[in-house]
Amino acid sequence: MQKLEGDGMAFVHAGGTIHQRELTAGDVLRVDTGCLVAMTSGIDYDIEYVGGIKTALFGGEGLFFATLRGPGTVWIQSLPFSRLASRVFAAAPQRAGSESKGEGSIAGGLFNLLGGDRK
């Protein structure tokens, strides 16, 4: 986590839809840890274990939640970088019957997507 303070303008990168939420005193918001973008200094931030093993394995949220307590403002994103990377990798074209040239990373699939490695 990083702290921004001072006068001026700051640019923060986030993915998907960004939602600003105002929390009043006593309000609690639990989000996936990767979805938290920013919060004001009045927010109490804690990490909590999701709970049961079935929830952790099949819930799609991971093992931990970020628990945010007001008062203050939080900004959350719908598409953290880890999910974006998995979607790009899943969308990369897969050619049936072709042999691999040894590119074992996501970059290999992206270069193929851009037109390289054609026979």
So where are the chain's domains? 18-77, 81-113
Report the C-alpha gap between 63 and 95 in whole angstroms: 35
What average pLDDT does range 53-75 have in this prediction? 80
How far is residue 47 from each of residues 4, 32, 64, 66, 89, measured CA to CA in Å?
21, 10, 6, 5, 29
Across the chain, mean pLDDT equals: 80
pLDDT of residue 97: 56
What average pLDDT does range 25-33 have in this prediction? 92
Q: Which helix (H) or strand (E) holds 86?
A: helix 81-91
Phi, psi of 88 (to 5 degrees): -65, -45
What average pLDDT does range 52-64 have in this prediction? 66
pLDDT of residue 58: 67
What average pLDDT does range 44-62 have in this prediction? 74
